[in-house]
Amino acid sequence: MRNIKNELLAKIGDKSAVIGIVGLGYVGLPLVLRYAQVGFKVIGIDIDSRKVDALNAGKSYIEHISADSIQKAQQQGFKASTDFSVASIADALIICVPTPLNKYREPDISFVTDTTDALVPYLRKGHVVSLESTTYPGTTEEELLPRVQSGGLVVGDDLFLVYSPEREDPGNPNFETRTIPKVCGGHTAACLEIGIALYSPAIDKVVPVSSTKVAEMTKLLENIHRAVNIGLVNEMKIVADKMDIDIHEVITAAATKPFGFTAYYPGPGLGGHCIPIDPFYLTWKAREYGVNTRFIELAGEINTNMPHWVVGKVIEGMNNQGKALKNSKILVLGIAYKPNVDDMRESPSVELMELLEGKGAIIAYSDPHVPKFPVMREHHFDLSSVELSAENIKSFDCILLATNHKAFDYDFIQKNAQLIVDSRGVYRTKFSNVTKA
């Protein structure tokens, strides 16, 4: 009698298995490169033809991923496609698609369900399907399980279903896909065994857990922990500002304690695909069980309000110079969501730009990592990055420091700016033209 599990384990073990990555963004593309690097043939699937065309031409569209690394993957047989039928060639299908919020701040898992539906016609015996997208506990069982079994295949016998949450920190030189431990939960014991085997060749440490729900909740806890602590320090920043205390000096001093304290830093709001979104996935699902997550929601309220607070500091700084915000020229310094990357997902800078423009300001931006404002699902500015010449800097009524890239010459900017509103704590020395936000 055919043992499908052992056949798949053998194919993974001798690297004859074909790895399919569905969704070729900040999570999926590093996985492509890692599996190719360790000797697997990889196929990529994405609905964005621009990404597929770029990859097949040996080009990268993510700043910290080199074209050379794409070309090396091609030498291992990597190809990208918009055609989901190539999924039938793969033995493993790893889903790395977005899980945003809808306009009501509720989970939108349509990318996950639509992707799964597109894969279902091509599923066969011996497939393993792994979901990596961040989502609420129960998604794998409630949404993926019935879909992948809809054609008569049985999970745990004919094919295998796992959840292994993505863990990426774009632009962080201290961590890469290989070195970040990988949590993995399976729908059955056989699924978990396959999941561990799937990720072990590519990841230094795989952390098995007892179920897909545990793995899903693990990802949410990681990011909610960060969101709550950032909410705390953002609230502390507002209090410290009223008391004329430098919150960054306070954090630096507190961080000298060798136990019981972890430094978190305030900012103009939360950014990235995970931290601003994940808390809402859990609070939404918790209501199904009659639980109100008041602590998490309070932190979310504080973090969501930070762009409004920063705009208030811009208005305050302008007033101190005898200027109105309306018709003033504002340069937003840094529009990526974090320093030294080109990642714009959920960037608070975009909300700052919209709020300021909504109050009548004339908006521009400067960001060496984002030369042209990208096409986004919900936001658009027809703008390109402004060169930071002395003449340009002087022409703006206010410079709003939103993202503290290393590439900026902060001394040069300060010497030429009429007014700087610093939301990142870059200017620790007091200057007459710097307002801290």
Mean pLDDT, the chain, rounded, equals 95
Q: Where are the domains of the chain?
A: 4-208, 235-436
Of the listed ranges 107-121, 133-147, 175-189, 269-283, the least confidently predicted one is 269-283
Catalytic residue among 96, 184, 191, 274: 274
CA–CA gap between residue 437 and residue 420 (Å, rounded): 10
* Fold entry, domain 4-208: Rossmann fold (3.40.50)
Residues 6+ apart with CB under 8 A from 142: none
Confidence of residue 172 (pLDDT cuts 50, 70, 90): confident
Confidence of residue 1 (pLDDT cuts 50, 70, 90): low
Taking each helix axis as running N to C, give the angle between helix 28-37 and helix 67-75, from 0 to 180 degrees, rounded to the nearest 10.
Answer: 50
* Fold entry, domain 235-436: Rossmann fold (3.40.50)
Kindly state the average pLDDT of the residues 252-265: 96
* pLDDT(162) > 70: yes
CA–CA gap between residue 205 and residue 182 (Å, rounded): 6
Angle at 306 (CA atoms; ends 417, 419), nearest 5 degrees: 10
Kindly state the average pLDDT of the residues 288-309: 93
Each residue of 61-107: pLDDT tens digit?
A: 999 899 999 999 999 999 999 999 999 999 999 999 999 988 778 89
pLDDT the model gives residue 380: 82
pLDDT the model gives residue 198: 98
Confidence of residue 123 (pLDDT cuts 50, 70, 90): very high
pTM: 0.92
Residues 6+ apart with CB under 8 A from 240: 246, 247, 250
CA–CA gap between residue 113 and residue 22 (Å, rounded): 13
Kindly state the average pLDDT of the residues 266-277: 84
Each residue of 320-333: pLDDT tens digit?
A: 999 999 999 999 99
Annotated catalytic, 274?
A: yes
pLDDT the model gives residue 75: 95
Instruction: For 166-184, give one letter per residue: b (16+ CB within 10 A) or e.
Output: bbbebbeeeeebeebebbb
pLDDT the model gives residue 425: 94
* pLDDT(174) > 90: no
Tokens of 85: 């039928």
Question: Does this chain's domain 4-208 share its CATH topology with 235-436?
Answer: yes
C-beta atoms surrounding 64 within 10 Å: 16
Kindly state the average pLDDT of the residues 138-142: 97
Kindly state the average pLDDT of the residues 353-373: 97
Confidence of residue 121 (pLDDT cuts 50, 70, 90): very high
Higher pLDDT, 106 or 413: 413
